[in-house]
Amino acid sequence: MENPGMKATRSTRKTGVVCHTLANNWGRSAMEIRREEQLNPVADEVLALTSIVRPILTGVLYALKADVVAEAGGHLNVKLKMLPRLYRPGDVGICFEYAVHEAMNSGDARVLERMETALKLCNIKRPQPKSILFGIEKTGAVQLIDTAKNILTDESRTLAGKVGQPPKLRSRLNTIAAAFRRPATRAALPYSIRGLWKADLFVGSLDTQQWVGTTVKINPAHLEGAAGLRVGIIPTRQGQNDRVRLDDGRGLVICPLHHDADFMQAFYEGWRIVQAFIASDAKVPPERRLPRPVDREICRMLEERREFPAIEVIEDLRIFGQPELLKTVAREVDRQDLKGETDTSMLVAPLSRTV
């Protein structure tokens, strides 16, 4: 064992990963050993909430109607103080997509480790998930394609879960984007990915350049499969299975995100902060509306910048957010069961940060 203080466990809420023991024909199996090294000290709640408020504000900004934004001179000219006048309720789902996307790309372990498990079920090795936002109706197809082409290579492929060579992705971005708006274009896509235009994100590995179409739904009842979609991200539901699992009916790997003291709780706290800030004319809400001082502190930070373009404020908030906390190192070792069966598939060894 790598550390005498390590404990055997089937899964852990802190890491959010459920590792499966893989057996072979010789009675041997593989066990994953994970070592988590703390990179930065745990920051306070204000910093953590700032990180979740950023993508929520981004979702609010890009969900504004195009004609309204055009009258304001484009997204670059929409000042933060203008959001209360331009905003219309009902964008929580869009903000959830942005929050999940940002969490993966900023190293939020609460989302990353759930998605690592999902990608392994999609047969992506060494996942280290990265996300490409595919919100055509929110960000515009041109921006999407430019961003994706900077990340993807000519050999990038989308795993559709079908027999045969996975289709290449980069060369089909224009067709997929066109299929979103023009149904007649969808026939030009290979049958195995004909529903890929419904994806909210492309999630995959930069190392292997394997990607999967991912749908993100704040309401699990709205989750549906389509040709080319492989992963569905939803909040956990009370009394429902919260394992990352394959749903044969939808043809999706379901990836529920946990609530209590986890990502979904942080998201809804951030959502309430943004809603209260907008309802208070882009100023610090009264205490009765946001009783917690940490919530009002974030609104105070925003009010100080209400005269600046929202897109610049969102970007500047990045330096005030929570940095990555953990680096996870995983390796597989062979294991042979001499008698009976064992459920232990993972060892967790904490490694404290040296100051």
Q: Tell me the per-residue pLDDT of 279-325, one tens digit each, with 9 for 90 and over.
A: 999 999 999 999 999 999 999 999 999 999 999 999 999 988 875 54
Question: For residues 308 and 79, is the Cβ–Cβ distance under 8 A?
Answer: yes
Asked if residue 22 has pLDDT above 70, the reply is no
Q: Strands 346-351 and 7-9, how do they pair?
A: antiparallel
pTM passes above 0.85? no
Q: Tell me the per-residue pLDDT of 162-176, one tens digit each, with 9 for 90 and over.
A: 767 899 999 998 899
How are the residues of the chain apportioned to helix, strand and coil, as percentages rounded to the nearest 5? Answer: 40, 20, 40
Alpha helices in the chain (DSSP H): 45-62, 66-71, 83-86, 92-105, 109-121, 136-139, 141-151, 173-181, 263-279, 293-303, 310-316
Q: Tell me the per-residue pLDDT of 243-281, one tens digit each, with 9 for 90 and over.
A: 999 999 999 999 999 999 899 999 999 999 999 999 999
Nearest one of 106, 148, 80 to 305, comparing CA atoms: 80
Give the other-Cβ count within 10 Å of 312's Cβ.
13
How many Å apart are CA 62 and CA 51, to the nearest integer?
18
Report residue 3's pLDDT band, with 50, 70 and 90 as the boundaries.
very low
Nearest one of 212, 207, 216, 208 to 192, comparing CA atoms: 212
Residue 170: CA atoms inside 13 Å, Cβ hemisphere, count?
Answer: 13
Q: What is the pLDDT of residue 324?
A: 57
Q: What is the pLDDT of residue 323?
A: 58
Report residue 136's pLDDT band, with 50, 70 and 90 as the boundaries.
low
* Alpha carbon distances (Å) from 347 to 115, 192, 276, 335: 19, 38, 43, 12
Task: Find the length of the chain.
Answer: 355
Asked if residue 351 has pLDDT above 50, the reply is no
Nearest one of 331, 321, 355, 312 to 53, comparing CA atoms: 321
